[in-house]
Structure 1
């Protein structure tokens, strides 16, 4: 009886994706500048620096995977290619389409584009047609709310405005289910996780805090990528963060 209680206790405290033993690196990019413009730091990366990083991953034998593969790995232990990595983009910047997507194609990579819907079609942001093209090219479109609010500790969250309507809008644009979510500022709480579940999301990605003990698949860890990381810096940082 004591032995049974011991194993029940272990099962209870394990995250919901603990069937998988090894973390998969998930990278997060925001602002990508034109080829010779801008800084290289955690929030900005030049196009040529992004190209160097993707070449580094390619030359190092990494394979990009999409969220359904990651979900099935964490939930069911489904096998993955050697050296898997997930590449994600936040905030709907037009250079995600004009700069990042062609570089991904160059190396045979796919990514997840987490779209904030309020700026769609505005200057500096992707159009609905560009978002649709990304989905048609085999990339995945995810939800990043309507206007990027802080969600940690939010008591008066307008779920329809920030979660359900953006999901529906992106599904209308792409003609595909939108099942993955990235928290603005990487912040989350259990109340928001509950709303994501009932809204039809399968998983979500964070940048801050720890995993949810009960809903680990809704707190998948990501790291922001410094634009100054080049080989062997990027692989080394990935190994350090996801050991």
Structure 2
């Protein structure tokens, strides 16, 4: 009887040990399955990291400049005809083609700021294209040409002119921004700032920046002084308002030494051949 009990006990013990071993093998088996499931994910993550690293490697390095940078900031207004501020569409198209054919890279306001503050450039040939006032033809005539050549440009918009006859609408500006163009400030009412009181100037500069910041969920970096008029108060107030750069109508290439709140521009008038346009861009009158 005792032998029988012992045999039964040994049998149960063997079954118990076997069951434990089976459980262990099953657990190990589960771990193996999990590892197999994780394998492809790890490979995918590795590929993503490698891809990001490759993108960083492929990103062109900005070129340090030995001399202080001189940047041509082109000044357009309307793309039409009729006076000295209006450049016909055919001429504008020829200008953009000249820039493309001659290897110029167009900049955004952010990139232009980096150029001036670091004295580096993404390419040896750079240009900042700007339009004052925000006319409708900037959208209907200039915008298609800019898209054709993959170019950036900046439009200085008057806050109170949005949606008015012959001026850009909200929808048009949204579309242009989505395609890489920038909308910056040309103040609220387009008044000659040097004729205003300090408080009036402050409202025109600070108020328009706050509006464009909120309207486009952006950091508005630039302001163009209406008619190019400004005084010492203007320079200080523009900086206090939070602008990083301001442009005037004073002729010539822009240099940091001019002051970041009083950068010069190259006025583009009607009647310029591509060759004459090129000389202005290159600084050879």
TMscore range, shorter length: 0.7 to 0.9
**TM-superposed deviation, 1:183:** 0.8
**TM-superposed deviation, 1:155:** 3.2
Q: 1:227 is matched with which residue?
A: 270
Q: 2:182 is matched with which residue?
A: 140
* TM-score of the two chains, using structure 2 as the length reference: 0.70
Q: 2:190 aligns to what SS in structure 1?
A: coil
Aligned equivalents of 1:215, 1:240: Cα separation in 2: 16
**Are 2:136 and 1:94 equivalent residues in the alignment?**
yes
* TM-score of the two chains, using structure 1 as the length reference: 0.82
Q: 2:76 is matched with which residue?
A: 29
Larger C-alpha radius of gyration, 1 or 2? Answer: 2
Aligned equivalents of 2:213, 2:273: Cα separation in 1: 36
User: Residues 176, 167 of structure 1: CA spacing in aligned structure 2 closer, same or farther, 3 A cutoff?
Assistant: same
Aligned equivalents of 1:106, 1:95: Cα separation in 2: 16
Contact 2:255 2:263 (8 Å CA) reproduced? no
Q: Which has the higher helix share?
A: 2
Contact 1:128 1:173 (8 Å CA) reproduced? no
The 5-angstrom pairing of residues 50-61 of structure 1 reads: 50-61=92-103
**TM-superposed deviation, 1:240:** 3.1
Aligned equivalents of 1:230, 1:174: Cα separation in 2: 36
Q: 1:11 is matched with which residue?
A: none
Contact 1:42 1:224 (8 Å CA) reproduced? no
RMSD: 2.5
**Are 2:241 and 1:199 equivalent residues in the alignment?**
yes
**TM-superposed deviation, 1:209:** 8.0
Q: Which runs of 5+ in 2 are unaligned?
A: 1-65
Aligned equivalents of 2:260, 2:162: Cα separation in 1: 28
**Are 2:145 and 1:108 equivalent residues in the alignment?**
no
Count of aligned residue pairs for this structure pair = 220
Q: 2:283 is matched with which residue?
A: 240
Larger mean CA deviation between 81-90 and 203-212 belongs to 203-212
**TM-superposed deviation, 1:156:** 4.7
Contact 1:42 1:225 (8 Å CA) reproduced? no
Aligned equivalents of 1:85, 1:212: Cα separation in 2: 13
Q: Which runs of 5+ in 1 are unaligned?
A: 1-18
Q: Which one of the candidate residues 109, 124, 127 is aligned to 1:85?
A: 127
**TM-superposed deviation, 1:157:** 4.7
Q: 1:31 aligns to what SS in structure 2?
A: coil
Q: 1:162 is matched with which residue?
A: 204
